Amino acid sequence: MRRKSEWERQKVVHAERPLVRDPTFEADLSAYLRRTLGPDRLVDLYGRFAVGAGALDGLMRRAVWRALARSFGHAVVIAPGAMFRHLERIEIGDGVFFGEQSLLQGRYDGTCVIGNRVWIGPQAFLDARNLQIDEAVGIGPGARILGAEHAEEPFAREIIANDQLVEPVRIGRGALIGTGSVVLPGVSIGALAIVGAGAVVTGDVADSAVVAGVPARMIRSRGLTKEATSGS
């Protein structure tokens, strides 16, 4: 296997994509849909355009998400098959990318904030009941961010019949959550940290740390300054 220094380098696309404001008619369309259809019919309408690859499909996906979401930024890309629950509790920043068949699962009483330029890979699952993702975070294909687990008590009941315990998850600016990794409830990932592919993160990860394994353990620090991790 060749060393990473020998791998082919390619320019990034998402991070360098200009954040162009959406045309005024898109906001007007969303306002019209919100006013005339209401949430349930908007969800039904989304089904007509959810998986199409054409420009109209993409436009209508944005229009429905904007109509339903608590807030919705400019230059958002929603790939075919991206799905949602309870967008009314979710704030989405500018330039966010939602990959194919990703799922953003909110809750009627939850809260979720997704910062600018976040990239969410295909088939990623985000439990958005109490979730904060800061700007420029990358979430790899098939990653899982979990926000709750079932209580063990009462012990005599089936576990899935017990109440769920919701714990907040926080992901700091510029962090990378690797392909197929799992972030468990209550975890905070520091700014510019890296979670390796397939890792299971059970505890907090420091700024600029690199963690990997099951359970995830720190394997090195990227050695970044406090100014870099704070975005100064």
The whole-angstrom separation of Cα 159 and Cα 225 is: 44
Domain residues for the domain of 135 are 74-219
Last residue in a domain, options 68, 97, 125: 68
Q: Is residue 12 part of a domain?
A: no
The whole-angstrom separation of Cα 185 and Cα 172 is: 15
Q: Is residue 228 part of a domain?
A: no
Last residue in a domain, options 48, 68, 88: 68
- One domain, residues 147 and 173: yes
Q: Is residue 226 part of a domain?
A: no
Percent of the chain with pLDDT over 90: 80
- One domain, residues 44 and 100: no
The whole-angstrom separation of Cα 156 and Cα 82 is: 38
Mean local confidence (pLDDT), 163-188: 96
Whether residue 224 contacts residue 208, with contact meaning beta carbons closer than 8 Å, is answered with yes
Q: Is residue 2 part of a domain?
A: no
Last residue in a domain, options 68, 103, 129: 68
CATH number of the domain to which 92 belongs: 2.160.10.10
- One domain, residues 135 and 182: yes
- One domain, residues 111 and 186: yes
Mean local confidence (pLDDT), 20-27: 96
- Amino acid, res. 225: T
Q: Residue 59: which H helix or E strand, with range?
A: helix 55-68
Domain count, the chain: 2
Among residues 68, 62, 51, the alpha carbon closest in space to that of 26 is found at: 62
Residue 230 has pLDDT above 80, yes or no: no
- One domain, residues 101 and 61: no
Phi, psi dihedrals of residue 39, rounded to the nearest 5° = -60, -50
The whole-angstrom separation of Cα 95 and Cα 73 is: 7
- One domain, residues 151 and 105: yes
| pLDDT reported for residue 12 | 83
- One domain, residues 176 and 190: yes
Q: Strand order of the sheet with strand 119-120?
A: 77-78, 97-98, 119-120, 138-139, 176-177, 194-195, 209-212, 217-221
- One domain, residues 111 and 137: yes
* pLDDT level of residue 34 (50, 70, 90 thresholds): very high
Q: Is residue 155 part of a domain?
A: yes
53-57, 120-124, 159-163, range with the lowest pLDDT:
159-163
Q: Is residue 227 part of a domain?
A: no
| pLDDT reported for residue 213 | 97
- One domain, residues 64 and 79: no
Q: Is residue 15 part of a domain?
A: no
- One domain, residues 102 and 60: no
Whether residue 149 contacts residue 185, with contact meaning beta carbons closer than 8 Å, is answered with yes
- One domain, residues 58 and 33: yes
Hey, how many other C-beta atoms are within 10 angstroms of the C-beta on 117?
Answer: 22
Q: Is residue 53 part of a domain?
A: yes
- One domain, residues 54 and 90: no
| pLDDT reported for residue 7 | 79
- Global confidence as pTM: 0.92
* pLDDT level of residue 6 (50, 70, 90 thresholds): confident
Q: In 172-216, where do the E strands start and end?
A: 176-177, 182-183, 188-189, 194-195, 200-201, 209-212
Whether residue 39 contacts residue 68, with contact meaning beta carbons closer than 8 Å, is answered with yes
Phi, psi dihedrals of residue 24, rounded to the nearest 5° = -60, -35
